[in-house]
Amino acid sequence: MTAKKIKTAFITGISGQDGAYLSKLLHEKDYKIIGITRNNHSDSLEKLKFFKIEQFVIMEECDLLDISSVLNLVKKYNPDEIYNLAAQSSVGLSFKQPIGTINFNIISVLNLLEAIRLVKNDIRFYQASSSEMFGKVSNLPVHINTPMHPLSPYAISKASAHWIVVNYRESYSLFACNGVLFNHESYLRSNSFFVKKVLQETVKNRDKSDWTLKVGNIDIKRDFGYSPNYVQAMWLMLQKNDPEDFIICSGKSITLRSIIEYVFKKLNVSLDRLVIDNDLMRPTDIEDIYGDNTPAKVKLGWDYNLDFYEVLDLLIEEELSFFSKSSNN
Ligand SMILES: C[C@H]1O[C@H](OP(=O)(O)OP(=O)(O)OC[C@H]2O[C@@H](n3cnc4c(=O)[nH]c(N)nc43)[C@H](O)[C@@H]2O)[C@@H](O)[C@@H](O)C1=O
């Protein structure tokens, strides 16, 4: 009997929410995981520590804007798969730092694809593409071929990176594909994002008499899902016989206001605590967006049927439980 080959995977952006859930998944599948971060600070390991898997990940510091560093790393480990999750991922920040966002989110992808092309062209490449690139859509649900009208520097950077991946696939026959993920949340989401901010602030401050929740435009709609399930789709995409781009979403949009109302009601918080702050509004924002996940379900066998209110129930429970643990310490 031949021994099963251990696969090696690079995960760029391993310190984020998806990096942690994907590491957990690949660890369960016996991968050798190389985690790539911009700087090897101890806080890069925080989310891996949450799952107690930090000792199973080899961490490497690498500036993805520097092609020599990327080439050296690919030569050193000869990975089978690269999951590119690294990005300046905040849409809001991209309005303040458009050049940095566009520069990093495009050149890092080009460098990784060039390294694959030059060093080992059978490495399978996953790009974290984003629903933001569709922007101002006139027909819903969004499909993979829906025309793009990006509404932010972040969205422009993700649209460019998306087409670079398609171009490398078509020009050099690389196994490179885009997972176009819609908003997806979890306990490990950074608190600069809307859902985590609402949950964390409300759980932490609900008993304080002078606390208010300040938010921007909440009369818009988004298609929200659950991160642990979305990273499964990333892995499934790289196990297919042929590379293909997929929309990964729940298929339904809900208003941000309804999320706040739901969380406040569950936690017995009065809506008087809600304050709309114009400083938190973006120059442009998507009014409503949701996608069609049928191809992912049919062709990848991706299983997703969660309603976002079910996800919220789970997240509220987790937030309450970790908050009470941290207050008791
Ligand atoms: C798919 C996409 O998903 C994420 O991008 P995002 O949609 O910008 O995520 P968010 O949670 O920051 O905003 C969601 C919505 O909520 C509105 N909003 C209102 N009030 C606040 C507020 O107070 N804070 C924030 N952050 N947003 C607010 C805000 O204007 C926006 O319409 C990233 O993963 C990104 O990398 C990605 O690819």
Dihedral of the CA atoms 238, 252, 191, 136 (nearest 10)?
A: 90
State the distance between the two ends of the chain, measured CA to CA, in whole angstroms: 51
182 lines ligand 1 (CB under 6 A): yes
89 catalytic per annotation: no
274 lines ligand 1 (CB under 6 A): no
Q: What are phi and psi of 33, to 5 degrees?
A: -110, 125
Active-site residue (options: 23, 44, 130, 157): 130
| Tokens 């818009």, residue located | 220
| For the CA of 217, the nearest atom of ligand 1 | 19
Residue 64, pLDDT score: 98
CATH pick for 191-222+253-289+307-324 out of 3.30.70.20, 3.90.25.10, 3.30.70.260, 3.40.50.1110:
3.90.25.10
39 neighbors 62 (Cβ within 8 angstroms): no
Residue 39, pLDDT score: 83
226 catalytic per annotation: no
Arithmetic mean of pLDDT, 78-106: 98
277 neighbors 215 (Cβ within 8 angstroms): yes
0.90 exceeded by pTM: yes
Query: What angle, rounded to 10 degrees, do the helices at 153-172 and 98-119 form?
Result: 10
| Tokens 């670079």, residue located | 164
Arithmetic mean of pLDDT, 86-97: 98
Arithmetic mean of pLDDT, 13-21: 97
Contacts by 25-29, CB closer than 8 A, 24 or more apart: 25/228, 25/231, 25/232, 25/235, 26/235, 27/53, 27/56, 27/57, 29/235
pLDDT at 43 over 90: no
Residue 328, pLDDT score: 78
Arithmetic mean of pLDDT, 18-24: 98
* Fold exhibited by the domain 8-184+224-248: Rossmann fold (3.40.50)
Of 88, 160, 183, 198, the one to substitute when testing ligand 1's pocket (max ligand atoms within 8 A of C-beta) is: 183
When the pLDDT of each residue in the chain is averaged and rounded to a whole number, the result is 97
Give the tens place of pLDDT for each residue, 133-174.
999 999 999 999 999 999 999 999 999 999 999 999 999 999
115 neighbors 157 (Cβ within 8 angstroms): no
- What is the distance between the alpha carbons of residues 2 and 242, in angstroms, rounded to a whole number? 26
Q: Which residues pair with 12 in a beta bridge?
A: 36, 84
pLDDT at 329 over 80: no
Arithmetic mean of pLDDT, 181-187: 98
Ligand 1 atom 18, closest CA? 216
* Segments of the chain assigned to CATH 3.90.25.10: 191-222+253-289+307-324
Give the tens place of pLDDT for each residue, 286-326.
999 999 999 999 999 999 999 999 999 999 999 999 998 88
Helix or strand run (H / E) with residue 128: strand 124-130
Residue 42, pLDDT score: 73
* Segments of the chain assigned to CATH 3.40.50.720: 8-184+224-248
Residue 136, pLDDT score: 97
Q: How many CB atoms lie within 10 A of CB 221?
A: 18
Ligand 1 atom 2, closest CA? 183
Centre of ligand 1 to C-alpha 78, Å, is 36
pLDDT at 58 over 70: yes
128 neighbors 181 (Cβ within 8 angstroms): yes
pLDDT at 41 over 80: no
Centre of ligand 1 to C-alpha 90, Å, is 8
290 neighbors 182 (Cβ within 8 angstroms): yes
Centre of ligand 1 to C-alpha 263, Å, is 17
Q: Strand, helix or coil at 9? A: strand
| For the CA of 196, the nearest atom of ligand 1 | 11
Residue 1, pLDDT score: 61
Residue 327, pLDDT score: 81
Give the tens place of pLDDT for each residue, 140-150.
999 999 999 99
Active-site residue (options: 60, 81, 132, 185): 132
